[in-house]
């Protein structure tokens, strides 16, 4: 328990842990998935798993947008970047992600003009400053970042810019959760729902999980106590035979989400028939593309896109990690061939990935616990 002691509300955490333990039925195993990579960070950083009863397991979900982008889309982005007069822009998180032909950094070193930006609005500024270039923003992320891309497209249209487009790779969280629920690989007892995504979509879209699958979901904040409280709320529902959507993060997440954000996404983007996810394969209606009315800002209509399909490296088990079937340390190459310095898979590249989080924080906790047990 000493790892939680480092946290300033250790007394509250201890009380919660005792209450969590008392809610567990003896002999029953509980498995909860935290969907969001931010939660995975908190869990490893504060050693929360060591703090839960042994029969409660937390598994990591697909909520790291960099991690779920298939290698083919990385190659397609590089293909666009190599076209004449193109400036490709991307969030820094994407720069080291390996595609079949190397990463954005490799492509940049080979002469392509690929620039890191903090915001799609920074990409828009590059377009204004370079009227003789075609500026493309490689848009990724769940519903947390999709409104920003949508607002930027609206702004580009309002300004009459003709040299700005987006290569849209936005994905949506609900179909991914549904794919995991429908997968035979994993039996889950409930979900710790994503905090920031829910700020945009609200809590209602999760209703089907409670209603049709009979699993509770609690939208959670990012502090250690938030996670422990959410686990407590999930166990309480199970103990009372309920399956509902509850909001532990109500201080930030409104029940109906951010209506303006939803409106601008819907104005500029629509669901694709299907999209490939790393590890999860093709999922119907799981990603967004630019609507016809904004075709002038859609890189997929301005450039010829190869539509590359690249199989993940054989040694890489990111797919299993993203589905929650494997823990990071159970992957064959974790920490040996695959490290943050020389990543093979996306879960180790992205600082939000489960493998990077575990590599940076979790393994030390486990080692210390192992040593303590030995002593």
Partner 1 sequence: MCLGIPGEIVEILPDQPDLAKVDVSGVRRNINIGLITDDDPQPGDWILIHVGFALSKIDEAEAKAAMDFLEGIGQAYADEIEALMESRIE
Report the interface residues with partner 1, using CB under 8 A.
Answer: 36-38, 41-42, 45-46, 64-66, 91-93, 116-122, 125, 140-142, 144-145, 147-148, 151, 195-196, 199-200, 221-223, 251-254, 258-261, 264, 351-352, 360
Which residues are bridge partners to 167 per DSSP?
138
> CB of 293: closest distance to partner 1 in angstroms?
20
For residues 38 and 175, which CB has a smaller minimum distance to partner 1 in the complex? 38
| Nearest distance, CB of residue 213 and partner 1, angstroms | 25
To the nearest whole angstrom, how small is the minimum distance from the Cβ of residue 303 to partner 1? 23
Whole-number Å distance between alpha carbons of 34 and 234: 12
Q: Return the number of the residue (21 or 121) whose C-beta is nearest partner 1.
A: 121
CB 89 within 8 A of CB 135: yes
List of residues 6+ apart from 271 with CB closer than 8 A: 172, 285, 286, 287, 288, 289
| Angle between helix 224-239 and helix 10-23 axes, rounded to 10 deg | 20
**Min separation Cβ 52 and partner 1, Å:** 19
User: Whole-number minimum distance, CB 374 to partner 1, in Å?
Assistant: 28
Instruction: Give yes or no for a contact between 286 and 172, defined as CB atoms under 8 angstroms apart.
Output: yes
257 torsion bin: left (phi>0), alpha (psi -120 to 50), beta (else):
left
Q: Nearest-CA neighbor of 145 among 192, 79, 201, 227?
A: 201
Pick the closer one to partner 1 by CB: 64 or 235.
Answer: 64
Q: Residue for token digits 């370079």?
A: 130
CB 73 within 8 A of CB 97: no
User: If you search the block for the tokens 């990463």, which residue do you land on?
Assistant: 103
Judged by CB, which is closer to partner 1: 65, or 190?
A: 65
For partner 1, which is the closer residue by CB, 116 or 271? 116
CB of 38 to partner 1, least distance (A): 6
Whether the Cβ atoms of residue 347 and residue 312 lie closer than 8 Å to each other? no
Nearer to partner 1, 114 or 210 (CB): 114
């Amino acid at each position: 328990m000493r790892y939680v002691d480092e946290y300033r509300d250790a007394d509250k955490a201890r009380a919660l842990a005792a209450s969590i333990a008392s809610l567990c039925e003896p002999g029953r195993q509980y498995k909860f998935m935290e969907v969001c990579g931010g939660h995975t960070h908190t869990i490893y950083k504060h050693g929360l798993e060591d703090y839960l009863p042994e029969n409660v397991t937390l598994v990591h979900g697909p909520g790291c947008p960099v991690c779920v982008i298939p290698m083919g889309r990385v190659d397609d982005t590089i293909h666009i970047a190599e076209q004449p007069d193109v400036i490709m822009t991307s969030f820094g998180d994407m720069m080291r992600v390996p595609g079949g032909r190397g990463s954005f950094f490799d492509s940049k070193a080979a002469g392509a003009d690929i620039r890191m930006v903090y915001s799609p609005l920074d990409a828009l500024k590059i377009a204004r400053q370079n009227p003789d270039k075609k500026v493309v923003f490689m848009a990724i992320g769940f519903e947390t970042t999709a409104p920003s891309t949508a607002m930027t497209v609206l702004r580009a249209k309002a300004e009459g810019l003709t040299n700005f487009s987006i290569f849209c790779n936005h994905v949506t969280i609900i179909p991914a959760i549904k794919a995991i629920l429908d997968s035979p690989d994993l039996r889950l007892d409930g979900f710790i729902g994503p905090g920031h995504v829910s700020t945009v979509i609200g809590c209602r879209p999760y209703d089907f999980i409670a209603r049709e699958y009979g699993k509770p979901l609690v939208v959670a904040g990012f502090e250690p106590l938030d996670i422990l409280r959410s686990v407590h709320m999930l166990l309480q529902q199970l103990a009372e035979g309920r399956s509902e959507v509850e909001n532990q993060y109500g201080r930030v997440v409104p029940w109906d989400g951010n209506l303006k954000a939803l409106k601008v996404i819907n104005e500029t983007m629509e669901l694709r028939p299907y999209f490939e996810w790393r590890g999860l394969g093709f999922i119907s209606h799981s990603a967004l593309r630019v609507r016809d009315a904004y075709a002038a800002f859609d890189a997929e209509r301005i450039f010829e896109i190869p539509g590359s399909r690249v199989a993940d490296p054989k040694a890489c088990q990111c797919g299993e990690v993203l589905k929650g079937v494997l823990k990071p340390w159970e992957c064959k190459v974790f920490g040996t061939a695959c490290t943050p310095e020389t990543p093979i898979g996306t879960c180790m590249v992205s600082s939000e990935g489960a493998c990077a989080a575990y590599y940076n924080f979790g393994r030390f906790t486990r080692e210390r616990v192992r040593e303590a047990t030995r002593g």
